[in-house]
Structure 1
Amino acid sequence: MNKPLVVIFVAIGLDAAGIGLIFPILPQLLEDVTHTQNIAPTIGIMIALYAVMQFIFAPVLGALSDNLGRRPVLLISLAGAALNYVVMAFAPQLWMLFLGRAIAGLTSANVSVATAYITDISPEDKRARRFGLSNAMFGIGFIIGPVLGGLLGDTWVRLPFIAAAVLNACNLLLALFILPESHIPGHQKIDLAALNPLQPLRWVFSMKGLLPIILVYFFLSAAGEAYGTCWALWGFDTFQWNGLWIGLSLGTFGVCQTLVQALLPGPATKLLGERFAIVVGIACSCIALVAMAFANQGWIVFAIMPIFALGSIGTPAFQALATRQVDPACQGQLQGVLASAVSLASIIAPLAFSTFYFAVQKEWPGAIWLSVAVINAIAVPLVFLGTRTARSKQPASV
């Protein structure tokens, strides 16, 4: 394996570890800065701010990487991430934390540019394997990050942010001194209309039958935002978990989900078919969420982790199913629409979940997971509606 590829894989793993480091301890940092325990809305705003900046500037960074090269955009992105964590590690006031997250969202091109880099340097017959390795590296980093973050955070609440800054600085140095440019810059004039983040969504309404599939993607992505927004708060409020136990719970979920993704999607799709693999995955998620809502002891959460992780068995099937809704010439547009749906979910869902959690926090924190189960359940009829439309269109395209 060539050196640039190794550097990219290491960079992806370090980036995931840096993200995971702060999850278990972010509520404690906000309590330390705001001097209040009612920080659920603040977490929602902070996560949504990151998503807004990412939604607005991701098309810009993508266009810049095509016109200026992957390397400079990756360096800017890594520098922005390191700066964000430094700000969060030492910021004495809340507005500084918001500034740091805005900077991180603005420069958050790490994984997308790394994926483009892998595409640039990989023959077509090796891309799938290398994308699989990059996903594995991200998974490993995200397993290690929360556990390490919880352990460091119990020592000092700001230590995980310093560690994340160090990891991103290492990423920056690796890219600066070892990583060559993979893409010959086009130096063409950037189409300003293409930078409009809402542009891909207009295409949805011109494609009959595509809207239900996009809505499934939106609802499932929105449901996934609840974990980053409320998991640490719920763990502390319900079980009095410290940072280490929150990190261990997230790490355990990461291990279970990695095993499920590596071993089960193929057999599940072959046995159940694509549509029912998706539905069974959603059902597993809902069962686990209901159990979490009523759990009164921490061991129950660890016991249901395998069922929880089974919720992802339908994800590859859904991705494959979505790609068949449009012609091969429109696959790029489809991926742009799906990315936009994820971005919009990342803006709206944290605000909604944090507001709801704040309302139920004192009486029943676990109620947040029932709301997530409801959102997952909404996606089920949309799966059947979208695929029914696709099946009726199939003969005309043969």
Structure 2
Amino acid sequence: MRLPVLFILLTVMIDAMGIGLIVPVMPDLIQEVQGAGLGTAALWGGILSTIFAAMQFLFSPLLGALSDRFGRRPILLISLVVLCADYLVMAVAGSIWLLILGRVVGGITAATQSTANAYMADISEPGEKAANFGLIGAAFGMGFVLGPVVGGLLAEYGTRAPFYAAAALAAANGIFGYFVLKETVDDRIRRPMSWWRANPLGVFWQLGRLPGLGPLLLVYFIYQVAFVVYPSIWAYYTAERFDWTPGMVGLSLGLFGIAMAVVQGGLIRPILRLLGERGAVIYGHFADIGVFLLIGVVSSGTWLLILTPLAALPAVITPALQGIMSKAVGDDQQGELQGTLTSIAALATIVSPLMMTSAFYTFTDSEAVIYLPGAPFFLAGALVALALAVFLSIGKTPRGPNVSDTPEA
């Protein structure tokens, strides 16, 4: 593997690990700085999570546009330096306001996943883009698995230890990137900075005007809203239905993360060769509908644990959609597109938990007309079916001006 690609994958993995590293200590840390109980800490924890997602939503297009103008290398390296400093500030934070500031800065720097995706698009041939986006998804999955595990172990050394570890990881990767990362933006694809293109509303409107891309962005958003059912509901659903302990919840999420890494890092290539990008998206949607229905009706915790890694099989959807959309725009718009996709995912992270937790509450409340704890998964399945209907209505997937009629995979 080329060293720049390794740096990109490590950057995405460290972003995911950095979030997961601090999750195990956040309840204790918030209680420590607030002097409040667990309920109040949970409330502040939700606020911090929303702030983080909101910053990603707002700043992903800006970082993507900046990378189209000034290059991927400076955006990625500067963000790692700022991220390192941010974790150090959070490590010594003595008030909730410093933690809020830390999540604001952390959300902005985490928006560089759009730049990492744009870099991968720059160095990939058209037929390789979906598979290479799958590598990024696999790296994120591994970070998702490793982060909470390492964070839980480091928590034994105090609530601040995971923050110092996250800072060290960001610093080490920044040094590595300084020596190996080559710039991919040249005068051929560089374009002027436009503030209209550097905000979510402006970039949605601009990209939505491209033939066929608007419906694809809608499909991506609907699917992301459905997918967020896992982090939103999984712990509550398994506790309500099967009395799972936090340890069992962590194990199941670890299995899911590993399975996603296997699918997006390895299985996606033969699937793309067999089905093509469009076929992979269709297969993934049908598979996800089946998975959500099964999760909603399964009656045994053992069978749910067996089903958990299989739930990752539809994970080809995101990289396949990214590959299709990356081909639909010019080489000088890759950062803008990836920034938009990161913003869409962040917006889904803001919207979906409200929908899914409301559905869970409505059907598990003592006064519920029907007791149906799996209702959020049925809702997610319905959303995936809607996304599939929109995708099928598009017809032939669009291609940009710089893409030839070479095979998709």
- TM-score normalized by the length of structure 2: 0.74
Q: Residue type of the partner of 2:349?
A: S
1:17 equivalent in alignment to 2:17:
yes
Across the aligned residues of Structure 1 and Structure 2, the Cα RMSD in angstroms comes to: 4.4
Kept after mapping to 2: 8 A contact 1:278/1:317: no
What SS class does the counterpart of residue 54 from structure 1 fall into? helix
Q: Match for residue 83 of structure 2?
A: 81
1:259 equivalent in alignment to 2:259:
no
Structure 2 gaps, min length 5: 400-404
Q: Match for residue 282 of structure 1?
A: 288
What SS class does the counterpart of residue 37 from structure 1 fall into? helix
Q: Match for residue 45 of structure 1?
A: 47
Kept after mapping to 2: 8 A contact 1:48/1:350: no
- Per mean C-alpha deviation after superposition, the further-off stretch among 122-131 and 107-116 is 122-131
After superposition, residues 219-258 of structure 1 pair within 5 angstroms as 219-231=222-234, 239=243, 241-242=245-246, 245-258=248-261
Distance 1:216 1:126, change over 3 A: closer
Q: Residue type of the partner of 1:241?
A: T
Distance in 2 of aligned mates of 1:82 and 1:389 = 43
* Count of paired positions: 386
Q: Match for residue 382 of structure 2?
A: 377
Distance 1:236 1:216, change over 3 A: same
Q: Residue type of the partner of 1:22?
A: I
Distance in 2 of aligned mates of 1:89 and 1:236 = 32
Distance in 2 of aligned mates of 1:205 and 1:125 = 21
Q: Residue type of the partner of 1:259?
A: V
Kept after mapping to 2: 8 A contact 1:27/1:232: no
1:198 equivalent in alignment to 2:204:
no
Q: Match for residue 392 of structure 2?
A: 387
Distance 1:185 1:35, change over 3 A: farther
Q: In the TM superposition, what is the alpha-carbon distance from 1:57 to its structure 2 partner?
A: 1.8
Kept after mapping to 2: 8 A contact 1:88/1:97: yes
The correspondence for 1:101, drawn from 100, 103, 106, is 103
Distance in 1 of aligned mates of 2:320 and 2:118 = 23
After superposition, residues 67-146 of structure 1 pair within 5 angstroms as 67-118=69-120, 122=123, 124=125, 128=129, 131=133, 133-146=135-148
Kept after mapping to 1: 8 A contact 2:200/2:340: no
Q: Match for residue 305 of structure 2?
A: 302
- TM-score normalized by the length of structure 1: 0.75
Distance in 2 of aligned mates of 1:370 and 1:127 = 38
Alpha-carbon displacement from aligned partner over 1:199-240 (angstroms, at most 9, x marks no partner): 233257757876654433222212333433454566677746
Distance in 1 of aligned mates of 2:74 and 2:326 = 31
Structure 1 gaps, min length 5: none
Q: In the TM superposition, what is the alpha-carbon distance from 1:182 to its structure 2 partner?
A: 1.4
Q: In the TM superposition, what is the alpha-carbon distance from 1:383 to its structure 2 partner?
A: 1.9
Kept after mapping to 2: 8 A contact 1:49/1:102: yes
Q: Match for residue 183 of structure 2?
A: 182
Kept after mapping to 2: 8 A contact 1:115/1:131: yes
Q: Residue type of the partner of 2:114?
A: S
Kept after mapping to 1: 8 A contact 2:115/2:338: no
Kept after mapping to 2: 8 A contact 1:82/1:169: yes
The correspondence for 2:344, drawn from 341, 345, 356, is 341
Kept after mapping to 1: 8 A contact 2:15/2:110: no
Q: In the TM superposition, what is the alpha-carbon distance from 1:135 to its structure 2 partner?
A: 4.2
Kept after mapping to 2: 8 A contact 1:150/1:245: no
1:64 equivalent in alignment to 2:73:
no
